[in-house]
């Protein structure tokens, strides 16, 4: 709980600093420091054993000044109101950074999907849509997958919304199966976006990706795709890790072999005897370090020992505020999470656009459009950081919050 509150207050602090740098007054911060709307719902679900269990769910809409709100729905036992609020604010920033006509939204249900049957998950998913139906929709708030939710859950939710609306509404939600109006390339979009910003960051530091030594913490969805992409580009992935430990080979790991052996939770290190710790992994001598696991991994304690020239955050909040300061002072290029992981929401936007026009793009078209969005966003943030002599995180928050602040001002809200 304290962690989530900390996430909310730390997000508010950087937003405040960004708005100050942009010349906005206290009133704008007062408007943007919390979501415009937060709905808390109770969802009764008939369980397989015949009992009824009541679940708590949330939907936060940070700001709809720019357009409809957009953001994932997570199913997790630790979901809290504070976390959902903070993550909706992050989504506003991400949408601003990649120049999408959205504000940020986020949803969550307090549950443990790993302990539930498919039938129970379906009834919970449909119950959530009925509970929040008044504030969501293709022109109001567009959900997407997040932690422990997937294309199947999105399909159930889309079907429930379409039944209530009495016509097919694929644009209500993104991250759907292709056959129900999903977009090509959505499943790998986050990792592809991270790969693009790694390439751009490497150019700025004069590092050739071919032969560059890369360390990736985390081997889940983002980390494993990322390891494959980097390896295909000719980089040497010398270290990877999962929840149980890390693997290291200075000559480069055989990524295809590891991908074949990992289980559905991204676990692979348990198959090896000679492993190192996650702590040792972060401090390996490498060119590019990518934390793609959980928050608060690079802290004031280990920031002085990071040997990479570039750190790219594929996870949410892996570097603390103190560590950001230390890395920047040491001349390490830190690419923040709100920029690096914006590929997912970008392709979600493409999916929504395709749903609205009823015309679908090829995988090549999606990749080409994603590449342009991510390169433009990286350049914008990098140039802001250089011209104002600030770190990339503050620059990203400035770029991210500017659209929403401008739109709020033009609307006459502030």
Cα distances (angstroms) measured from residue 392 to each of 89, 167, 325, 380: 18, 45, 11, 10
Q: Are 233 and 209 in contact (CB under 8 A)?
A: yes
Q: Copy the structure tokens of residue 312.
A: 């790219």
- Does the annotation mark 85 as catalytic? no
* Residue 363, CA distances (Å) to 184, 186, 192, 304, 353 in order: 5, 9, 12, 42, 15
Instruction: Kindly provide the residue ranges of all beta strands, DSSP E only, lying in 146-297, ordered along the sequence.
Output: 213-217, 236-242, 245-248, 288-291
Residue entry with tokens 């603390």: 320
Q: Which of 183, 181, 156 is nearest to 170 (CA)?
A: 181
The strand order across the sheet containing 236-242 reads: 245-248, 236-242, 213-217, 288-291, 310-312, 333-335
Q: Which one is catalytic: 16, 33, 106, 228?
A: 106
CB neighbour class for 396 (10 Å; exposed up to 12, middle 13-18, buried from 19): buried
Nearest alpha-carbon partner for 7 in 110, 75, 94, 82: 82
Which residues are catalytic, by number? 106
């Amino acid at each position: 709980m304290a962690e989530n509150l900390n996430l909310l207050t730390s997000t508010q602090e950087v937003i405040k600093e960004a708005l100050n740098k942009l010349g906005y007054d206290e009133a704008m911060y007062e408007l943007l420091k919390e979501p415009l709307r937060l709905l808390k719902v109770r969802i009764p679900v008939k369980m397989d054993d015949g009992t009824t269990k009541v679940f708590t769910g949330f939907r936060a809409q940070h700001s709809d000044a720019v357009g409809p709100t957009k953001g994932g729905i997570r199913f997790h036992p630790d979901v809290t109101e504070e976390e959902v609020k903070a993550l909706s604010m992050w989504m506003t920033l991400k949408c601003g950074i990649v120049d999408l006509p959205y504000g940020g939204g986020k949803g969550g249900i307090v549950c443990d999907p790993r302990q539930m049957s498919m039938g129970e998950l379906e009834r919970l998913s449909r119950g959530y849509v009925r509970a929040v139906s008044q504030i969501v929709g293709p022109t109001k708030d567009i959900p997407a997958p997040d932690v422990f939710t997937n294309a199947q859950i999105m399909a159930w939710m889309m079907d429930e919304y379409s039944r209530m609306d009495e016509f097919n509404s694929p644009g209500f939600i993104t991250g759907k199966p292709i056959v129900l109006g999903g977009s090509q390339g959505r499943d790998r979009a986050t990792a592809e976006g991270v790969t693009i910003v790694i390439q751009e960051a490497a150019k700025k530091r004069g590092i050739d990706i071919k032969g560059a030594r890369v360390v990736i913490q985390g081997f889940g969805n983002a980390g494993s795709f990322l390891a494959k992409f980097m390896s295909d580009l000719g980089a040497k992935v010398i270290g990877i890790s999962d929840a149980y430990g890390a693997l290291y080979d200075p000559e480069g790991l055989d990524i295809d072999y590891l991908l074949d052996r990992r289980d559905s939770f991204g676990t692979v290190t348990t198959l090896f005897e000679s492993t190192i710790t996650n702590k040792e992994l972060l401090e390996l001598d490498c060119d590019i370090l990518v934390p793609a696991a959980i928050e608060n991994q690079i802290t004031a304690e280990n920031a002085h020992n990071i040997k990479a020239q570039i750190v790219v955050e594929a996870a949410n909040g892996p570097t603390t505020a103190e560590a950001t300061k230390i890395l920047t002072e040491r001349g390490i290029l830190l690419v923040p999470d709100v920029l690096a992981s914006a590929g997912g929401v970008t392709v979600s936007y493409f999916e929504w656009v395709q749903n609205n026009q009823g015309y679908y793009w090829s995988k090549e078209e999606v990749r080409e459009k994603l590449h342009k969005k991510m390169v433009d966003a990286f350049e914008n943030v990098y140039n802001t950081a250089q011209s104002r002599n600030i770190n990339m995180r503050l620059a990203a928050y400035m770029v991210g919050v500017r659209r929403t602040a401008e739109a709020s001002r033009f609307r006459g809200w502030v």
